[in-house]
Amino acid sequence: MLANAIIDGVAGIEFKHAYTLTMPYMSTQPKAALTAAGQLIAQQIREHHAKLQVGKALGITCLGKTSSLTVRAPEDRGDNEPDRGIVFTWDLPWTFNDRPPLAERVGDQMQKIFAACINKFATYSHARRILLLDPHGDVAFTITESWRTLFTDLTPPEAIDDIWIGQHSTDDFGEDEWLMENAYRRAT
């Protein structure tokens, strides 16, 4: 909502440079507050972007938090990035070290998934039974090693032979792709 309000607010500007707008995490704010913050940020961008130079930042404070607009130096841009416009980035409020262990975050849900697999795989006892997980939310980018640790501590039932972690992404050519890694294999 915040980004959409900013995009709407800067519509029609013909930027001469590429900019980075780094914003703090604000998703706990009400929708109306995010929309108002986006409008304020867009207004500040409209008024000050043309005067901004490489190495300088425009601080924009709203909702008690400060966003920062900077000119993206050409050497800081990726190969596929535009040479004009705004790239949005967010400072997320957590690090990997202060998050609860994976077992605390998904343990109950995994037990439900395991129970469903026991029922589903009951008639396939002579086949290789594979569970593919497509994590979302705050576990979407959890490394496979963390999942392997989880399945060491929270042993899958005998009805499951393999567990794979899948992640949907886009390749270098903009095509959809799935990346999959094995996180558990029953010892034979």
Same domain, 61 and 113: no
Same domain, 85 and 6: yes
At residue 180, the 3 state secondary structure works out as: strand
What's the gap between Cα 21 and its chain centre? Answer: 17
Angle at which helix 31-48 crosses helix 2-10, to 10 degrees, equals 30
Same domain, 154 and 169: yes
- Please determine, for residue 131, whether its predicted confidence score (pLDDT) is greater than 70: yes
Domain range holding 148? 97-185
Query: What tokens were used for 35?
Result: 């929309």
- pLDDT confidence bin for 171, thresholds 50/70/90: confident
Mean pLDDT of 89-104: 69
pTM, 2 dp: 0.50
Same domain, 20 and 52: yes
CB 134 within 8 A of CB 168: yes
Give the pLDDT confidence of 1-14 residue by residue, as tens digits: 888 899 999 999 99
| Residue 126, amino acid | H
Concatenated DSSP letters for 16-46?
SSEEEEEEE--TTS-HHHHHHHHHHHHHHHH
What's the total number of domains in the chain? 2
Q: What is the CB neighbour count within 10 angstroms for residue 183?
A: 22
| Residue 170, amino acid | T
What is the total residue count of the chain? 188
Same domain, 66 and 138: no
The span from the CA of 50 to the CA of 150, in Å, is 51
DSSP strand pairing (65-71 vs 57-62): antiparallel
Query: Given this model, what pLDDT does residue 94 score?
Result: 52
